[in-house]
Amino acid sequence: GENVEQHPSTLSVQEGDSAVIKCTYSDSASNYFPWYKQELGKGPQLIIDIRSNVGEKKDQRIAVTLNKTAKHFSLHITETQPEDSAVYFCAAWSAAGNKLTFGGGTRVLVKP
């Protein structure tokens, strides 16, 4: 089955700096890669996603890149703000498995 690895597990950045989170996946048939933000006591919130026919996608301060050959994808947050502090999860969708497999999460702390 699909395996998704996420790094780093924690990330501390100064407000205004950039944050980068990286994920790798194992199933070459995976074709959809969402990113979720989870705040304490809440459910995961979809913040951006990318499909396998696209190499990069951007939405304001957030961007995601995908390298299908290397089977890795990354989340980039620019000009970080304290409200960006949360746990971020990457995930991969495998049509064969009909499910999302999540990475272990990255706890991001933005220091003012």
Residues found near other proteins in the complex (CB under 8 A):
4, 6, 31-32, 34, 36, 41-46, 49, 89, 91, 93, 95, 97-105
Q: How far is the CB of 18 from other proteins (least distance, A)?
A: 23
Residue (41 or 112) nearer to other proteins, CB? 41
- Whether residue 82 has a cis bond before it, omega within 30° of 0: no
Helix (H, G, I), strand (E, B) or coil at 88: strand
Alpha carbon distance 49, 40 (integer Å): 22
Considering beta carbons, is residue 71 or 102 the nearer one to other proteins?
102
Give least dist CB 27 to other proteins, A: 13
Rounded to whole angstroms, the Cα distance separating 23 from 102 reads 10
| Residue 91 vs 110, nearer CB to other proteins | 91
